[in-house]
Amino acid sequence: MSARMMEDGVYYVGSQDWDRQIFDELIPLPQGTSYNSYLIQGRDNTALIDTVDPEKAHELLKNLQELELKIDYIVSNHAEQDHSGSIPLILEEYPEAVVVTNPKCKELLKNFLFIPEDKFKTIGDGDKISLGGKTLEFIFTPWVHWPDTMVTYLEENKMLFSCDFFGSHMATSQLYSHENEEVYSAAKRYYAELMMPFRPTIKNNLAKISKRDIKTIAPSHGPIYSPVNEIINLYKDWISDETLNLVVIPYVSMHGSTRVMVDHLVDSLIKRGLVVKPFNLGHMDPGEFLMSLVDASTLVIASPTVLTGPHPLTVSNAYLINLLRPKLKYVAIMGSFGWGSRMEELLKGQLSNLKVEYLESISIKGLPTQDDLEKIDALADEILKKHESS
Ligand SMILES: Cc1cc2nc3c(=O)[nH]c(=O)nc-3n(C[C@H](O)[C@H](O)[C@H](O)COP(=O)(O)O)c2cc1C
């Protein structure tokens, strides 16, 4: 994508990555992604806000060359390489530029990219730099999602350059959220995959940045938000303690017995008026699964026993759930085994970060009998009771 003027003296100079399919070797990208970089031209000085993934450095450079401007400052909001990785190249091309960042980000940039000490201008929380008619304020937002994360506020334009905060993985020719409503679902996916563990710090930092009058939020991935109310309200909702009347059931079944249990539970919950989302861990979109955990009240993990413990797919997903710390209220474990199992004990040990109430587990030898199915109905009754009371 070529450089695009957003407002007088503010340009989009980033890159759309239409082809990228996976991020961090972990997160599938059904809509690609973008690395957003912005150029702000003041009367006296020019600042580049973040760069792009090194894979796309040539596009950033082309966009900057089109504009034929000098660069005095490269503001680095966050040291992760998808934003900072092209800084060394930009420093080579624009040797007069200095990297403006906070002390934590500076240390990381030195470690990741070998940027020399004399290339930095270190700023503190709330510090400002005037470019001449354009004033940049730096607001530290630690742990959204790394210790170094900060945002940059352009006072005159009421624009917040939020880096990963409010980001979405989406390649699109439509630069603004009002042109592409899909951004809100992509932003929820991004929140679920990256931001969910940082709910408490997001809460504080949202309050901190909300003290500014913000007309536009320009993140470093995905479309730009203008107006900003909808994304801010969605974030408030996601980080709140409120959960929905939703039961999420990740399951695995090798020979069908656990599957019979899951199918019965799904029917039983639907009959009781609950919303249910089953996910076959062997065939699911992990992003959809994690999005469902943003709002769910109850998680029921269903797995057969394999070599005394849960199936390895269950183990890896339980590990991820524990890291992401969704705001679940209730968890139940169920599954089929052959002769002896430690699945319940091992899974509970894996989920130690979750502040949840455990409902009674259901372990069944082989294929469920009529009695076993009644136990599953009793679990559905219990879930309904819990949801009604909370
Ligand atoms: C590779 C493998 C290892 C197993 N290990 C155990 C075990 O350690 N303990 C046990 O009780 N059952 C074990 N089983 C038996 C399964 O737990 C049992 O067949 C169960 O009913 C499978 O549920 P499913 O039909 O949902 O796959 C094992 C099965 C397989 C295929």
For residues 218 and 290, membership in a common domain is answered with no
Give domain status of residue 53, yes or no. yes
Return the pLDDT at 278: 98
Q: Ligand 1 centroid to 368 CA: how many Å? A: 14
Q: Which residue has the tokens 């201008």?
A: 121
Is 337's C-beta closer than 6 angstroms to any atom of ligand 1? yes
The residue contributing the CA closest to ligand 1 atom 28 is: 306
Percent of the chain scored above 90 by pLDDT? 98
Is 258's C-beta closer than 6 angstroms to any atom of ligand 1? yes
Give domain status of residue 204, yes or no. yes
What is the pLDDT of the chain when averaged over all its residues?
97
Q: Using the atom order of ligand 1, give the atom closest to the CA of residue 339.
A: 11
Q: For the chain, what is the domain count?
A: 2
> If you average pLDDT over residues 2-17, what whole number do you get?
96
For residues 169 and 97, membership in a common domain is answered with yes
Q: Using the atom order of ligand 1, give the atom closest to the CA of residue 367.
A: 21
For residues 100 and 201, membership in a common domain is answered with yes
Is 270's C-beta closer than 6 angstroms to any atom of ligand 1? no
Query: Facing residues of 301 across strands?
Result: 333
Is 202's C-beta closer than 6 angstroms to any atom of ligand 1? no
Where in the sequence is the domain holding 379, given as residue range(s)? 247-384
Q: Using the atom order of ligand 1, give the atom closest to the CA of residue 303.
A: 26
Return the pLDDT at 160: 98
Give domain status of residue 34, yes or no. yes
For residues 217 and 254, membership in a common domain is answered with no
Q: Domain with 129 in it: what CATH number?
A: 3.60.15.10
How many residues are listed for the chain in this entry?
390
Query: Facing residues of 151 across strands?
Result: 139
Give domain status of residue 390, yes or no. no
The three-class DSSP label of residue 34 is: strand
Give dist(CA 129, CA 136) in Å, integer: 5
Give domain status of residue 135, yes or no. yes
For residues 160 and 206, membership in a common domain is answered with yes
Return the pLDDT at 236: 97
| 165 has a pLDDT exceeding 80 | yes
Return the pLDDT at 390: 84
Is 308's C-beta closer than 6 angstroms to any atom of ligand 1? yes
Q: Using the atom order of ligand 1, give the atom closest to the CA of residue 256.
A: 25
Return the pLDDT at 155: 98
Is 307's C-beta closer than 6 angstroms to any atom of ligand 1? yes
266-303: per-residue pLDDT in tens? 999 999 999 999 999 999 999 999 999 999 999 999 99
Give domain status of residue 109, yes or no. yes
Contact 154, 216 (CB under 8 A): no
17 CB contacts (<8 Å, ≥6 apart)?
A: 32, 33, 34, 35, 53, 55, 56, 171
Q: Kindly tell me the number of DSSP H helices and DSSP E strands found in the chain.
A: 12, 24
The residue contributing the CA closest to ligand 1 atom 4 is: 306
Domain boundary pick from 192, 213, 239: 239
For residues 207 and 263, membership in a common domain is answered with no
Q: Strand runs (DSSP E) across 141-215, as ranges?
A: 150-154, 159-163
For residues 225 and 261, membership in a common domain is answered with no
58 CB contacts (<8 Å, ≥6 apart)?
A: none
For residues 280 and 215, membership in a common domain is answered with no
79-127: per-residue pLDDT in tens? 999 999 999 999 999 999 999 999 999 999 999 999 999 999 999 999 9
Is 302's C-beta closer than 6 angstroms to any atom of ligand 1? no
Return the pLDDT at 200: 95
Domain boundary pick from 196, 221, 239: 239
The pick from 306, 362, 363 for probing ligand 1's pocket by mutation, whose C-beta has the most ligand atoms within 8 angstroms, reads 306
Domain boundary pick from 239, 261, 278: 239
Contact 281, 288 (CB under 8 A): no
Please name the residue ranges forming H helices in the chain.
57-67, 81-84, 87-93, 103-113, 183-190, 199-209, 229-239, 257-271, 286-295, 312-324, 343-350, 370-389
Is 253's C-beta closer than 6 angstroms to any atom of ligand 1? yes
Q: Using the atom order of ligand 1, give the atom closest to the CA of residue 260.
A: 26
Give domain status of residue 389, yes or no. no
Nearest one of 15, 34, 363 to 190, comparing CA atoms: 34
The pick from 252, 254, 313 for probing ligand 1's pocket by mutation, whose C-beta has the most ligand atoms within 8 angstroms, reads 254
For residues 196 and 260, membership in a common domain is answered with no
233-261: per-residue pLDDT in tens? 999 999 999 999 999 999 999 999 999 99
For residues 161 and 218, membership in a common domain is answered with yes
ipTM: 0.99
Return the pLDDT at 1: 73
For residues 105 and 178, membership in a common domain is answered with yes
50-89: per-residue pLDDT in tens? 999 999 999 999 999 999 999 999 999 999 999 999 999 9
Is 256's C-beta closer than 6 angstroms to any atom of ligand 1? yes
Residue 22: Cβ within 10 Å count: 9
Give dist(CA 370, CA 376) in Å, integer: 10
For residues 234 and 340, membership in a common domain is answered with no
Helix (H) or strand (E) holding 35: strand 33-35
Return the pLDDT at 83: 97
Give domain status of residue 37, yes or no. yes
Q: Domain with 358 in it: what CATH number?
A: 3.40.50.360
Is 303's C-beta closer than 6 angstroms to any atom of ligand 1? no
Is 255's C-beta closer than 6 angstroms to any atom of ligand 1? yes
